[in-house]
Structure 1
Amino acid sequence: MKIKDLEYYQKLIQEKNFSKVAADFKVSQPTITMSIKRLESDFATTFFIRDHAHKELHVTPAGQQFANHVNVILNELTIARQEIDRTKSTRIRFGLPPIIGNYYFPPLTPMLMRANLMPLLDTFEHGSRELLKML
């Protein structure tokens, strides 16, 4: 199973049209068809019923159930990519509400300076509510 297959599947659930999905991804329509067949083969079921006479595509109950899982999987992959990208950053984002910035943080700065961490800090001084929104 390929991630691209899941992306095609998710788009096909939305569009219900193989040609539109192919155009959106700038691939051929047979590419989408083979991708869906691969998924259906992997799960030994049919996800779509193709009504060629009316040019309609219907999602089976198994197809809808799988769509729910695909949405979660692709969302988790997006989050994982974002989190991994953040780990590559050499900057530390640090929120300082007034009480912490005025009373608790100043005594820690000498230790942070000795550890050469101060230049890496991006501080944001706002109230707790605003900092929470920024998260």
Structure 2
Amino acid sequence: MDGKMLARLGAVVFVGVAITATVIELTRKPEEPQVRTLVHERDDTDALRQVLRRCRDVGEAATRDPTCLDVWAKARDRFLGQGPKPSQPGGTMTLAPEAPVTLFPTEDPAIKESAPAAEDAAPVAQPEPVRPGAH
């Protein structure tokens, strides 16, 4: 067999395989898509969702709202798959403090008393600023 005959034989085999694959694909019956409906059970999660949305819309004031803090704790526990803590009776969360707590007070008497006087403190050396273009 020479090269031309081998090439022709290969082409005929290739065309035969392609035609066979096409016929098999065209005669195959299409599978019917499986339609499944998701059942959504409505329970207290809708009420929880409504309170969470209200807390979201309140904004920063929600961080001081005991209801929002309680609902966030319940949602976090539900998300993490945790039950109520055993130290808490009935699984109720500890409520937030009544008055907001200032994280950074402007003037604290305890700090004022323990701080050294201004004349006792040594001056702090400031580094020389680097000017652009100056080497």
Higher RCO (CA-CA < 8 Å; seq separation 6+): 1
What TM-score results when the alignment is normalised by the length of structure 2?
A: 0.23
What TM-score results when the alignment is normalised by the length of structure 1?
A: 0.23
